[in-house]
Copies of this chain bind each other. A is one copy, B any other.
Amino acid sequence: MGRPAHRHRDVERRELRQVAGGQEKVKEWYGVSNADEIPSPALLVYPDRVEDNIRRMIRLAGGVARLRPHMKTTKLPEVIRMQMDQGITKFKCATIAETEMVAACRAPDVLLAYQPVGPNVARLIQLARTFPQTRFSALVDDEGTICTLSSAAVRAGLTLDLFLDLDCGMHRTGVTPGPRALELYRRIVGSPGLNAAGLHAYDGHIHDTDLAVRTRACEDALAPVLALRNELVDAGLPVPALVAGGTPTFPLHARRADVECSPGTAVFWDLGYRTTLPDLDFLPAVLLLTRVISRPATNLLCLDLGHKAVASEVPHPRVELLGLPQAKAVGHSEEHLSVETDRAREFPVGSCFYAIPWHICPTVALHNEVVVVRNGRAEERWQVVGRARTISI
């Protein structure tokens, strides 16, 4: 809002529909015929588009073998099953609850892309015991954690797969590729109850809009990781996999035959990546439904889309109102979004808007359920299972 958006052809796609009486009416793809039945704010999921995005993701990865989508975005068992229906077997998660959700969907392989500390060590062991059909792995970057996990695995009579987490420039977690990394990797290999699953290198600091710049940054960040991998292999150590990147570098890692890719946002897509990553053509598959709850001035609309319903860690525009992209956010509180627009008079109190969130991942986590829209109609609700921090373990 207020900021020029890179308009995307799909968002603008209209469908000609034959309506009662033979009259032709232009209908947006996102319109919901029974919107009057949906209390707002609500998160609408369009499964056709989700399936399309999964297909695009698989196509870009050249198949499912090197694809390990991140579940932090979608948080829905139904979406995990949609991915499994298209042949995806491996998943990535950030929390024990997300990991449990994936395992409960009978997914064969799930990586907790987070170093387990404190009670999460016992929870991970408990997950492995409860879901023996699923292969669990986790990240480590610390000697103490390797030691703790080894003891816990031995006590439980289990083998845990661990990826060594590498810092390839983001400086968030992980160890710098080099002698210390080699030493830690050896430690994993040599610890009872542990299995060295490979390397993990998240390059979330790379999201340049210019694909050439992004490509170069990605290559520079990955070079020391690949060098470390070669060193490990030369030393006779097993390095079964290298998991790298998120959505911005997905198309780049996808070109490498020996890297597993972990896009998250791609499945739902959002305004942020649509704006900043024009080389990727995923479809917005999740929208917010919101209503005008007040018009306090002739150029102001107040919507029921507060920051308890849409991610707010980013500056405005936090959403784009479809059909009213020029509206400018001027206030955002817990349950209210105030926007300025010369067209306010056109929208009486109660008017509906559909909105694309800038950042879908934390937006999903703000909703306890989503409304499922098929063929222009809200049909059912799915519970956002993965937003809880504890499911059963």
Contacts and interface: CB of A to CB of B under 8 A. Distances in A.
Nearest to A335: B94
A115 B334 contact: no
Nearest to A175: B296
A365 B312 CA distance: 13
Interface string A141-152: 110110000000
Interface residues of A, number: 69
A37 interface: yes
A293 interface: yes
Given A39-B123, A308-B365, A349-B142, A336 B72 contact: no
Interface in A71-123: 72, 94-96, 114-115, 117-120, 123
A313 interface: yes
A27 interface: no
A38 to B, nearest CB: 7
A94 B308 CA distance: 11
Interface stretch (A13-21, A228-236, A366-374): A366-374
Nearest to A340: B171
Interface in A320-345: 331-336, 338
Which secondary structure dominates chain A's binding surface? Answer: loop
A115 B366 contact: no
A172 B302 CA distance: 6
B172 A119 contact: no
A145 B293 CA distance: 10
B335 A119 contact: no
Contacts of A41: 389
A10 B157 CA distance: 48
Contacts of A388: 368
A170 B331 CA distance: 10
Given A292-B117, A313-B313, A387 B368 contact: yes
B389 A204 contact: no
A380 interface: no
B348 A144 contact: yes
Contact of A362 (B72, B175, B334, B352): B334
A286 to B, nearest CB: 16
A346 interface: no
A42 B97 CA distance: 13
Contacts of A198: none
A296 B142 CA distance: 10
Nearest to A352: B118
A119 B36 contact: yes
Contacts of A297: 171
Contacts of A348: 142, 144
Contact of A39 (B292, B350, B389): B389
A362 B308 contact: yes
Contacts of A309: 389
Given A117-B293, A366-B365, A390-B369, A72 B334 contact: yes
A380 to B, nearest CB: 14
A387 B387 CA distance: 12
A46 to B, nearest CB: 20
A94 B335 CA distance: 7
A361 interface: yes
A342 B316 CA distance: 34
Given A39-B123, A368-B388, 19 more contacts: A39-B96, A41-B389, A117-B292, A117-B293, A117-B350, A142-B294, A167-B296, A172-B294, A172-B331, A172-B338, A173-B336, A174-B294, A175-B296, A204-B333, A312-B312, A312-B313, A365-B366, A366-B366, A369-B390
